[in-house]
Structure 1
Amino acid sequence: MSTVENQLDELKAEIVSEVPDDISISDVQYEGPELVVYTRDPKKFAQNGDLIRQLASQLRKRITVRPDPDVLSVPDKAREQIMDVTPEEAGITDLDFHADTGEVVIEAEKPGMVIGRHGSTLREITQKVGWTPEVVRTPPIESSTVSNVRNFLKQERDERRDILERIGRQIHREEMSDDEWVRITTLGCCREVGRASFILSTPETRVLIDCGDKPGAEDEVPYLQVPEALGSGANSLDAVVLTHAHLDHSALIPLLFKYGYDGPIYCTEPTRDLMGLLTLDYLDVAAKEGRAPPYESEMVREAIKHCIPLEYGDVTDISPDIKLTLHNAGHILGSSIAHFHVGDGLYNVAFSGDIHYEDTRLFNGAVNEFPRVETLVLESTYGGRNDYQTDQEDSERKLKDVINETYDEGGKILIPAFAVGRSQEMMLVIEEAMRSGDIPEMPVHLDGMIWEATAIHTTYPEYLRDDLRDRIFHEDENPFLADQFNHIDGGDEERQEVADGGPAIILSTSGMVTGGPIMSWLEHLGPDPDTTLTFVGYQAQGTLGRRIQKGQDKVPLGNSRGRGRSDSLTLNCNVETVDGFSGHADRQGLENFVKTMNPRPEKVLCVHGDEQSTQDLSSALYHEFNMRTFAPKNLETFRFL
């Protein structure tokens, strides 16, 4: 019998000894990081609300209790009972019963009312019907991404369960080495912005953190071929952790499955959905530009199938010697700081991903309270000596001035915006400004993936800033549903109508003007001197957005006009940059993030910034806090211990 089987037998015996005699335990299995306990008495489990919590604390495992299939009530009867137990205001839109696991997925407009105070309604549901309820939100804006992901995972439940059982056995396998060391290898985003990728390794475990592309440089990908990464095979990786869904962190995650990886991806639930949206669009853009995509769409589905969503603050075993906890990074929806606890108190490493330290309109600021962090891998996008962003109020005031001046001229405001994060921030600023009369009411057109990304934001309001979440939850005031917002879904014909019409605001992807519908908008509006092209986000080196920002007025359109030959136009529009809306912390924010950590890390690796920014930040942290700091190059390995 394998050591995992022995372990499960011992856990089952311990659980049996702890639960009351009238509760039977029929089986115990690992599914991913969770321990699943099967019982013929789910109603009695539910009556004792503290029992699962006590077992989880004692066994130091995440525990899910499921009923044996043969003790479940008939779905039709269970449906009636669930509807009786839950308040009508919960707005249940779907009930999906899965007899193989004894779970019922309840989709509701107000999940909190299905859950009840401290889970009271969920326990009542289980007491009545025996089924284990899982609650998901009905998106207030219909999202094809959320719908497709949920339907796909429903279709793949059997295979996904097999995957999770296999992953669970890998996580809880016996440790094979007595050595103690921790290493980090840099595979990308060192002294550059983009292609974020790192390997965290111990004698027991190898974890890949992020795997992105480099904006404006399609040929520069992470150094996955080196021995520390996939050089000895993709399945030498034990886990992949994705900090957030932006393509410079996520674009090449599906490529791992093309190379043969078959393990877990740990991320938040909105990161999983946004990764699906952005990587499929990444393939679509490559095809439209005549480039060979690095992988097929099937690999995106494989990545989604292997995702294990975690909530902020959940401590999760991902291997025999590593526990992972994700914390809010304040950057985009679901973005995370990944904290790794290695061994039994041996060493702690945190990867910041991309962070915003102060609160924004969309998100609470990044978390920097950890029990311990010996080494911090810190982004440095705005780490340069003079990288101080404008105060948010000043930024909003300048944006309103630009809008008002352009409106008075009868023109249009064209804002290249990242679909995820900056667009929703702009929507909140514009909606409030119109509501308060600071700017005139006018149509706000959303093009590209912005509408779909916004729909995903409305699906997960618990990840938004506290006061925004409360407005959506408790006051039924969803600013994303304001009447001014219009989804451009009629393509170039609708864009021409907008261009021929009166004053308007247009938010369009891509945010760095590297392709997408923004190219069509430049063709329609770029020659118009009454148009104001307004940059509100970071423009990476090598992108067309950066070149326009620096004064270039000749814009190559490629074959965007469908003629198959290169074409260009001359910009006559005004060009403005409004700083302060970035999802990244500026130099002061990065310093404050480190300054207020308690305890502070012993070492900091400054990454994800150009060469000057990483070296400036590294030097400043060293002099200010007397800590060891580094501005590593790609392909360096750091050993700790």
Structure 2
Amino acid sequence: MTVEDVLREIKVKVKEIVPSDIQITDVEFEGPLLVIYTKHPQKFAEKEHLVRQLAKMLQKRITVRPDPSVLTDSKIAEKRIKEIIPEEAGITNLYFQPDVGEVIIEAVKPGVVIGKKGALLNQIKKEVNWTPRVVRTPPIQSKTVQEIRAYLRTVSEERKSILRQIGRRLHRGESENEKFVRVVALGGFREVGRSCAMLHTKDAKILIDVGLDVSSDANGSPYLHLPEVLPLETIDAVVVTHAHLDHSGLVPVLYKYGYDGPVYCTPPTRDLMTLLQMDYLKVAVADAKKTPYSSEHIRELLKHCITLNYGDTTDIAPGVKLTLHNAGHILGSAVAHFHIGEGLYNIVFTGDIKYERTWLFDPAVNRFPRVE
């Protein structure tokens, strides 16, 4: 079954469940999400059970967005949003993204913006038709976070196109041949640095971490030249457990040599990883060393980066679901749990972990519904 066939089937099921007074204009995959565009977002907001019902039936993560034709003028919408949200929320910025129908609300207290059981977000959807997305204003001003968020806003249209390509590849379907699961060690096994492994199934190839051995001048890269890995275009996804360079330092190299797929990590890992990679380039240039990639490739990584919160389960390749859990190592560090097939196999990659509770972090999660 082709992706077009899958989408056609999904559209039929969506129209069976959604009431006839709610007009659906488009249904499309964007990364791991199934996005439903409608001319009546306010009615979706009133019937909260609809999205849950669709997600349960289709077994997909679903988001509803307004059709561009029904969006309220941004100046009018901004005024109304500020009237709806209490002052104590501490709104610092509002950014409107017409290409995806989203308004990004930066606030000191995101919980106040959301309201009890999402009441204020639903009110915003009903009254201005924009889909609100709430992000926390950093308690300490961070130039890195500001620049990353600003860059992602400037490339939002290109990113939408990238996510659609990723979504179509992700939902290409599974083969009926014999199933297998294998792990290929590419670096960081019985050594410190250049951590990298490949999870290989009949239908998918996933890299877990692509690190750098900063202490080695001659052999600091994982074995990315092995025939199991090449060509890089055959890799379905990259998962980064945390931001330290021995786990994330060479992810941009993949985009230099042809990879154009997604990178999955937590939101703090995305920001910290970018900071450390840029710092690595500055130090290498200052020491007159040849750099393996440039800032252009870091920007390409950001365009393809899909962030996941702890506990969110999402499809990342045909027959493979990923859930990230707290690893207790650094901010945003994660234990990656992979569920392969319909109960075929479950495998966990820990990255770096800490079991002890500290002043900053909870201990690493080590209990899972199922793991072999």
User: Secondary structure, in 3 states, of the residue corresponding to 1:291?
Assistant: coil
CA–CA distance in structure 2, aligned partners of residues 105 and 111 of structure 1 = 11
Native 8 Å contact 1:126 1:132 kept in 2: yes
State yes or no: 1:195 paired with 2:173.
no
CA–CA distance in structure 2, aligned partners of residues 144 and 177 of structure 1 = 49
CA–CA distance in structure 1, aligned partners of residues 365 and 217 of structure 2 = 33
- Which residue is equivalent to 1:35? 34
Letter in 2 for 1:253: V
- Which residue is equivalent to 1:308? 306
| Larger Cα-atom Rg | 1
- Which residue is equivalent to 1:111? 110
State yes or no: 1:235 paired with 2:239.
no
Gaps of 5+ in 1: 375-641
User: Secondary structure, in 3 states, of the residue corresponding to 1:101?
Assistant: coil
Gaps of 5+ in 2: none
Shift of 1:237: 0.4
Letter in 2 for 1:249: H
Runs of 4+ in 1 over 2 A off after TM superposition: none
Q: Percent of aligned pairs with the same residue?
A: 56
- Which residue is equivalent to 2:323? 325
State yes or no: 1:224 paired with 2:224.
yes
- Which residue is equivalent to 1:151? 150
- Which residue is equivalent to 1:344? 342
Native 8 Å contact 1:177 1:203 kept in 2: no
Native 8 Å contact 1:177 1:204 kept in 2: no
Shift of 1:233: 1.2
Native 8 Å contact 1:103 1:134 kept in 2: yes
User: Secondary structure, in 3 states, of the residue corresponding to 1:194?
Assistant: coil
Native 8 Å contact 1:109 1:139 kept in 2: yes
Indicate which of 261, 271, 285 corresponds to 1:273: 271
Native 8 Å contact 1:108 1:138 kept in 2: yes
Native 8 Å contact 1:205 1:238 kept in 2: yes
Q: Deviations over 1:119-164 (max 9, x none)?
A: 1111111011111001111112111111111111111111111110
Native 8 Å contact 2:94 2:103 kept in 1: yes
Indicate which of 368, 371, 392 corresponds to 2:369: 371
- Which residue is equivalent to 1:209? 208
TM-score, normalisation: structure 1: 0.57
User: Secondary structure, in 3 states, of the residue corresponding to 2:210?
Assistant: coil
Letter in 1 for 2:131: T
Letter in 2 for 1:211: V
Q: Deviations over 1:28-71 (max 9, x none)?
A: 00000000000010001001122212211221100010001111
Native 8 Å contact 2:97 2:156 kept in 1: no
Shift of 1:284: 0.8
CA–CA distance in structure 2, aligned partners of residues 204 and 43 of structure 1 = 40
Shift of 1:20: 2.1
In the TM superposition, what are the counterparts of 1:285-304 in structure 2 within 5 Å? Answer: 285-304=283-302
CA–CA distance in structure 1, aligned partners of residues 187 and 98 of structure 2 = 45
Shift of 1:275: 0.6
Q: Deviations over 1:260-286 (max 9, x none)?
A: 110000001110011100001011111
CA–CA distance in structure 1, aligned partners of residues 260 and 345 of structure 2 = 27
User: Secondary structure, in 3 states, of the residue corresponding to 1:84?
Assistant: helix
Shift of 1:177: 4.5
CA–CA distance in structure 2, aligned partners of residues 251 and 99 of structure 1 = 34
- Which residue is equivalent to 1:282? 280
CA–CA distance in structure 2, aligned partners of residues 12 and 123 of structure 1 = 24
In the TM superposition, what are the counterparts of 1:374-393 in structure 2 within 5 Å? Answer: 374=372
CA–CA distance in structure 1, aligned partners of residues 296 and 257 of structure 2 = 13
In the TM superposition, what are the counterparts of 1:389-408 in structure 2 within 5 Å? Answer: none
In the TM superposition, what are the counterparts of 1:489-504 in structure 2 within 5 Å? Answer: none
CA–CA distance in structure 2, aligned partners of residues 77 and 295 of structure 1 = 44
Indicate which of 236, 247, 269 corresponds to 1:249: 247
User: Secondary structure, in 3 states, of the residue corresponding to 1:139?
Assistant: coil
Q: Deviations over 1:92-113 (max 9, x none)?
A: 1111112222111111111111
